[in-house]
A and B are shown apart, each in its own frame.
Chain A
């Protein structure tokens, strides 16, 4: 007897007649909603072109858009509130053994999801994949204990926890203010805050690891932050821009960023940076990278600088990245 033998009986289950019309109806309604949203977006684009487009404006627009969207959500979906744990905190060995599909950095370390959580938690829609680095202490490695990666892991955990706490706090404050200033339940309409924590392995080649941690929240306005861990696991240290670009690192970065900004704004006039072009006199321009400038190493072994939202360009430009040159990796 084979498990597949059950397939036919399984597929024989009667499909209710109304299934297909229901699915078709849902798709149809969604398409309609989508079209009207796209039109709404166009209006915003026009608005953007015709008025001085500042941060305040942007927030009020996204609030309006979100409200519009929320109102159209079905009651069934909006009312569903539940906590779903897909996995607890996994620090035990058993988990490490089962997680064989995860990337391995040479034989030195693995990056794995130590905490995974996806679901609705009251006012929050949370999507969380928290990474952790696990060293194997393989032969030939200089790693005698995992104190270094423990410290990194603790930092990642701390950032994730604090971000989530902070985001929740902000949203609760906002909610409180909303009702205190006369907002009604109907207007509030079960709106939720999206909280996302995720990671991406940018580069991994024994013994170098470049890991990105992203924290994001979305409510009346969306924002995103990124943290980078560029590690040399053979010597247990974090790499600096000087390590990967040499002594001339500041000059290399500054020249490239300046050149690329000029190139970008001359080829696309929807792009804008503080202190360049039309903003020349109104905002302080990018001057120099420093030890705290975020960066990662991409799969082509190039160094990529990352500037947070609002740091060198208006908020609508989001996070800006610049490829500045080859990483000097032995």
Chain B
């Protein structure tokens, strides 16, 4: 009983600490504010409902993000909105050009948002949310090497989009 309570508190504090990050991640999928809030709401509900399934207290953060990734995917599938991801489908390079004016950082961020979903998620979790490769693997429910290869592919893609070299 005590152990269960501890788990619950752990999940609650993890939600509270990471709510902004959860929102940003959701926004990277939905691209609109209200839908991102909906996704966060579903994520929180699901986490509170299934906290007992959390197996290891050290993995609470990747576990929470895994729910967020699933909820984001669920939302996207339900709302079937096409987000252009192939470079050829991008509405020219206008976004990124514009972002350049605000500095390189904005351009990189903008380009990341146009990566295919699976690549985008690993880049966000690894480089923007500072999760370890192992945590990213847990959060995305994939093998460690899949994370590595997605990051690698994301690099190549970003270089192409930004038309210049990008370091890891």
Contact = CB atoms under 8 A, between A and B. Distances in A.
Interface of A: 1-11, 13, 15-16, 18-20, 22-24, 26-27, 30, 34, 73-74, 76-77, 80, 82, 84, 86-87, 97-102, 116, 118-119, 127
Given A3-B155, A34-B8, A76 B141 contact: no
Given A8-B105, A116-B141, A16 B37 contact: yes
Given A22-B40, A101-B143, 6 more contacts: A6-B105, A9-B103, A27-B44, A80-B78, A97-B145, A101-B145
B20 A101 contact: no
Q: Is the interface of B mostly helix, strand, loop or mixed?
A: helix
A272 to B, nearest CB: 20
Interface string B98-131: 0100111111111110000000000110011000
Interface string B4-32: 00001000100110011001100100000
Given A84-B73, A101-B137, A116-B141, A3 B108 contact: yes
Given A77-B49, A99-B143, A9 B23 contact: no
A10 B167 CA distance: 18
Contacts of A3: 108, 112, 123, 127, 154-155, 158, 166-168
B77 interface: yes
B70 A15 contact: no
A11 B24 contact: yes
Contact of B105 (A7, A22, A84, A116): A7
A92 to B, nearest CB: 13
Given A3-B158, A6-B105, A7-B127, A76 B41 contact: yes
Contacts of A4: 127
Given A9-B109, A26-B44, A76 B38 contact: yes
B41 to A, nearest CB: 6
A4 B16 CA distance: 25
B42 A1 contact: no
Contacts of A7: 105, 109, 127-128
B158 A82 contact: no
A301 B12 CA distance: 38
A10 B37 contact: no
Contact of B42 (A9, A24, A76): A76
A100 B128 contact: no
Contacts of B137: 101
A86 B141 contact: yes
Nearest to B162: A1
B168 A100 contact: no
B15 A82 contact: no
B33 interface: yes
Nearest to B158: A3
B45 interface: yes
A135 B94 CA distance: 52
B141 A27 contact: no
Nearest to B148: A98
A10 B44 CA distance: 22
B20 A6 contact: no
Interface string B31-53: 00100011011101110110001
B57 interface: no
